[in-house]
């Protein structure tokens, strides 16, 4: 799957050394908290979109609030989210796609 | 003594090289508190200890500024920067749920507050610090007779005005995040120098210091317009007004004491590190208020 981060799958940090298999991918994380966060996000996004596969995931923002844009073929969806301090989703909402991203 | 801002382990005074080594080692082991501190304060990119050292020196350097100026700058950046803390955003025009989240979690913060300040009282030999703490404890917890109820009492009255009786509030345990924060504040109070504890705890009262907008804060703790009109209950106005009026003095006076005694006791580095740990706990604790608030959202 394509992703915009080269570091930790949730925050892009390159500190730490945690690996976890999520969504049939072995992913790098900076700490266990980010593993919990990504697992939460991944499950929630898949539940929301209901696609049989996700081709790409782009994450932006910081701990105060992030956006996540996922794509599968020509389908796209965007969400805004934030976590609590133990890694559970505190906020999760579908957001409008930027006009350039198409339908 | 230099201290790690993530775990408060101590090193020789000014030894930022060993601190950098410690941070990179603990981050290399993926410890969340150390990774978080590095991510949020220095860099998200894995860096060798040697290259991290000058960044740490620069971060902790007071330059020509006082300890209180450095503390305020860091506090504003964390809670009132370009992206203010989400609880502060929610409190600008708070819903009933936001205020109830405040009530349920803050009772535990205030109970710990008394203990933390109690440790400062027990350890200082300075009468002006004793007077300051006694006055603060009366305002926050003890009260001064029926005409001047404590902040704690006003908090419970705010809950009642929102339809939740105090027995329900008092019998509800804290969320795990709040519990962790108060345990760590307690540990901090028992172990650290009283000047460092004074700096770390009373700097938290900056959150309601309305004058921070003159020093770079992007917004205030809440929109002062809610103190009049009918947007929130009179009891909620009473609670928020108390902090709004008291915390300018509380925080400024405490930071003036910190300036004076951190230098006198040669504990500036301790005060900086303990303050940094305290604001990370406070950040989490404010999120816990939102987490509790989500239980009351329709």
B91 and B8 in one domain? no
Q: Give the confidence band of A98 by pLDDT, cuts at 50, 70, 90.
A: confident
B136 and B23 in one domain? no
pLDDT (tens digit, 9 = 90+) per residue, A27-81?
A: 999 999 999 999 999 999 999 999 999 999 999 998 889 999 999 999 999 999 9
Query: Range of B275's domain?
Result: 66-296
Of B220, B246, B264, nearest in space to B88 by CA: B220
Answer yes or no: do B32 and A84 touch at CB < 8 A: no
A contacts of B40 (beta carbons < 8 Å): 63
Q: Decide if B14 touches A, using CB distance below 8 A.
A: no
The predicted pLDDT at position A99 comes to: 75
The three-state secondary structure class of A91 is strand
The three-state secondary structure class of B102 is helix
B82 and B9 in one domain? no
The predicted pLDDT at position A102 comes to: 47
Mean pLDDT of B79-84: 94
pLDDT (tens digit, 9 = 90+) per residue, B180-195?
A: 999 999 999 999 999 9
CATH number at residue B217: 1.20.910.10
B13, B35, B61: which is the final residue of a domain? B61
B36, B61, B86: which is the final residue of a domain? B61
CB B88 within 8 A of CB A64: no
CB B182 within 8 A of CB B174: yes
Give me the residue label for tokens 């959202």: B297
B53 and B17 in one domain? yes
One DSSP character per residue, B156-201 reads HHHHHHTT--HHHHHTSPPPHHHHHHHHHHHHHHHHS-HHHHHHHH
Answer yes or no: do A16 and B35 touch at CB < 8 A: yes
B76 and B56 in one domain? no
Q: Give the confidence band of B147 by pLDDT, cuts at 50, 70, 90.
A: confident
B120 and B98 in one domain? yes
B72 and B33 in one domain? no
State how many domains chain B has: 2
A contacts of B45 (beta carbons < 8 Å): 7, 13-14
B61, B77, B110: which is the final residue of a domain? B61
B41 and B89 in one domain? no
B104 and B40 in one domain? no
B252 and B229 in one domain? yes
Answer yes or no: do B176 and A12 touch at CB < 8 A: no
Q: Decide if B40 touches A, using CB distance below 8 A.
A: yes
B49 and B132 in one domain? no
User: Distance from B115 to chain A by nearest Cα, in Å?
Assistant: 24
The predicted pLDDT at position A101 comes to: 52
B152 and B24 in one domain? no
Higher pLDDT, A1 or B222: B222
């Amino acid at each position: 799957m394509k992703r915009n981060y080269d570091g930790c799958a949730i925050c892009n940090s390159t500190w730490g050394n945690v690996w976890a298999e999520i969504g049939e991918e072995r992913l790098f994380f900076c700490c266990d908290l980010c593993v919990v966060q990504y697992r939460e996000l991944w499950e929630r996004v898949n539940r929301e979109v209901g696609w049989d596969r996700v081709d790409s995931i782009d994450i932006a923002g910081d701990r105060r609030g992030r956006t996540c844009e996922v794509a599968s073929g020509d389908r796209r969806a965007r969400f805004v989210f934030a976590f609590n301090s133990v890694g559970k989703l505190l906020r999760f909402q579908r957001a409008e796609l930027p006009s350039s991203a198409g339908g | 003594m230099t201290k790690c801002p993530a775990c408060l382990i101590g090193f020789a005074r000014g030894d930022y090289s060993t601190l950098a080594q410690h941070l990179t080692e603990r981050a290399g082991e993926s410890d969340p508190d150390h990774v978080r501190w590095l991510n949020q304060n220095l860099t998200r990119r894995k860096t060798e200890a040697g290259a991290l050292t000058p960044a740490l020196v620069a971060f902790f350097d007071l330059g020509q500024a006082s300890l209180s100026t450095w503390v305020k700058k860091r506090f504003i950046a964390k809670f009132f920067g370009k992206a203010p803390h989400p609880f502060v955003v929610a409190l600008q025009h708070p819903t009933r749920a936001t205020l109830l989240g405040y009530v349920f979690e803050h009772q535990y913060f205030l109970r710990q507050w008394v203990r933390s300040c109690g440790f400062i009282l027990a350890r200082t030999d300075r009468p002006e610090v004793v007077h300051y703490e006694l006055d603060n404890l009366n305002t926050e917890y003890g009260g001064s007779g029926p005409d001047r109820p404590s902040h704690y009492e006003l908090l419970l009255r705010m809950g009642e005005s929102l339809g939740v009786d105090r027995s329900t509030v008092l019998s509800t345990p804290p969320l795990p995040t709040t519990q962790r924060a108060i345990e760590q504040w307690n540990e901090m109070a028992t172990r650290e120098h009283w000047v460092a504890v004074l700096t770390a705890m009373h700097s938290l009262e900056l959150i309601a210091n309305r004058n921070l907008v003159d020093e770079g804060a992007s917004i205030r703790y809440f929109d002062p317009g809610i103190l009049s009109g009918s947007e929130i209950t009179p009891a909620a106005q009473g609670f928020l007004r108390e902090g709004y009026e008291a915390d300018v003095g509380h925080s400024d006076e405490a930071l003036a004491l910190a300036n004076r005694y951190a230098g006198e006791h040669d504990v500036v580095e301790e005060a900086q590190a303990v303050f940094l740990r305290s604001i990370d706990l406070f950040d989490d604790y404010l999120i816990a208020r939102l987490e509790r608030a989500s239980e009351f959202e329709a």
